[in-house]
Structure 1
Amino acid sequence: MSSTRRGARLARLLATQQLADWGWVRGSEPLDSADLVVGELAANAVTHGLVPGRDFLLTMTFLPLPKGGSSTLRVEVADCRGERLPAPEAAPSPTSEHGRGLLLVSALATRWGVTPRFPSGKTVWAELPGPPG
């Protein structure tokens, strides 16, 4: 996706459409949570991971089901700025207009993190519970 605000919006729209195509119900909590997480990770890639002329990558995969459990969706957003890692413990001030995206991701995801991406860059990922089976 292009590293622009339009690219981040398109990533969110395409992810929502793909999840709906996979049978997730529009307006349901699992789909709305995934939509918000994709939007926040894509916005962060565009804002903090921008390298002029380089795009960001969005992938969504399902992790194997635990016996008797529900599916887990893994969302990954990769960008080219490996030296700019997210700081989840840095809470924004109450009057700040920015800096709450990863707090939202942390609240909605069962877990999330960041991994280096060869040869340069990083992948920020989040795992979310899928809809009940």
Structure 2
Amino acid sequence: MNSFTGTPSVTSVVHLAMPPAMPSKIAAAGERETRVVPRLRKIGAAWLRHSCRMPEERVKDVLVVLSELLTNAVLHGTGDSVGYRSWSPEPGLIRFEIDDGTETEDPLPQAPSPLAESGRGLLLVSLFVKELGGDWGFTRHGTTAWCCLPIHDDEPVSGRREL
């Protein structure tokens, strides 16, 4: 009994496990200009850090992937805008998509000449996504690049092509 209030005292506290909340979905778009890349990257970074609570070292690596896919959409897309959306299709997993409105066959990573100053973006994406334990690709018509990654260093993601 609490001598001050005359009410029973709490002698123990039980914490009930709650399933983690799913990160909120986000979507943003901008004109197909180079200045849209840092803007959409900042939106993605905030989502990864705050909604997903992704560890900072992992955020930095995911942002390389996001930046490369955004830049690819700006440089090689033919649509007027670039769209970005992110969500969590299941606990512990994120998916983001970059849509440039261009219908073409799947763009494939190509080996640039040794002295080329560009042309390594999709190769970097492949390497980073593999290292992060994820999966990535393009939708059937090539308009949208997608990437699925675990939020933490958990089991690798595979077979997530059409979520």
Smaller-chain TM-score bracket: 0.7 to 0.9
Report the RMSD for the aligned CA atoms in angstroms: 1.9
- Superposition pairs of residues 1-133 of structure 1, within 5 angstroms: 1-22=30-51, 23-25=53-55, 28-51=56-79, 54-65=80-91, 71-83=92-104, 85-88=106-109, 90-109=110-129, 110-116=134-140, 122-131=143-152
Whole-Å separation in 1 of the counterparts to 2:105 and 2:33: 17
Pair 1:48–1:85, CA change in 2 (3 A): farther
Q: Distance in 2 between matches of 1:108 and 1:75?
A: 15
Q: What is the CA–CA distance in structure 1 between the aligned matches of 2:78 and 2:152, rounded to whole Å?
A: 33
Give the match's secondary structure for 1:44. Answer: helix
Q: 2: distance between equivalents of 1:46 and 1:84?
A: 17
Q: Which has the higher contact order (CA 8 A, sep 6+)?
A: 1
Give the number of the structure whose alpha-carbon radius of gyration is greater. Answer: 2
Instruction: Give aligned-pair identity as a percent.
Output: 32
Paired residues of 1:30 and 1:129 also in contact (CA < 8 A): no
- CA deviation after TM superposition for structure 1 residue 2, in Å: 1.7
- SS of the aligned residue for 2:31 comes to coil
- TM-score by length of structure 1 reads 0.80
Instruction: Give the helix-richer structure, 1 or 2.
Output: 1
The answer for the alignment partner of 1:68 in structure 2 is: none
Q: Which runs of 5+ in 2 are unaligned?
A: 1-29, 155-163
